[in-house]
């Protein structure tokens, strides 16, 4: 019913099935043989799309000014867009070649490496 009528995701279907199996086997102590034959849905395989170095270089050619610097900073450090936009001067440590990311995802901070090629432009 979950898969055919409600069209829920495979993970939701698996979670509901696991909960039912746990209820009957562990809590109620009832063994229902027909529950073992229920098929679990297969997860969709997602292939990540990653740009090659040449594709990234071609993309950077179309950017200039602050946008080019921001794009190179995000690409070189792995920072998220909002982290790059919130970056402050005091968060860049040129002596240690590090950037302090404050209040990132999950309200956590972390330190990322500052690419040497971006240091002059950031100064």
Are residue 116 and residue 62 in the same domain, yes or no?
A: yes
- Distances from the Cα of 58 to the Cαs of 13, 53, 122, in angstroms? 43, 9, 22
List per-block mean pLDDT (blocks of 10 residues) for the chain, which spans 123 residues.
75 83 86 73 79 93 94 94 93 95 86 94 92
State the residue range of the domain holding 110. Answer: 53-122
Which pLDDT belongs to residue 3?
67
Q: Which two tokens stand for residue 120?
A: 């002059």
Are residue 57 and residue 8 in the same domain, yes or no?
A: no
Residues 6+ apart with CB under 8 A from 112: 77, 78, 79, 98, 99, 101
Which pLDDT belongs to residue 16?
84
Are residue 32 and residue 84 in the same domain, yes or no?
A: no
Are residue 29 and residue 78 in the same domain, yes or no?
A: no
Which residues is 98 bridged to in the sheet? 93, 113
Are residue 16 and residue 63 in the same domain, yes or no?
A: no
Strand runs labelled E in 1-123: 92-93, 98-101, 110-113
pTM of the entire structure? Answer: 0.61
């Amino acid at each position: 019913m979950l898969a055919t009528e409600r069209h829920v995701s495979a993970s939701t279907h698996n979670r509901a099935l696991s909960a039912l199996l746990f209820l009957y086997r562990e809590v109620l102590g009832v063994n229902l043989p027909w529950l073992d034959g229920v098929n679990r849905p297969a997860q969709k395989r997602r292939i990540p799309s990653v740009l090659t170095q040449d594709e990234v270089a071609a993309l950077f050619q179309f950017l200039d000014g602050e946008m080019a610097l921001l794009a190179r900073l995000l690409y070189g450090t792995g920072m998220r867009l909002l982290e790059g936009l919130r970056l402050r001067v005091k968060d860049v440590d040129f002596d240690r070649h590090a950037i302090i990311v404050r209040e990132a995802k999950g309200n956590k901070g972390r330190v990322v490496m500052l690419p040497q090629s971006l240091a002059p432009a950031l100064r």
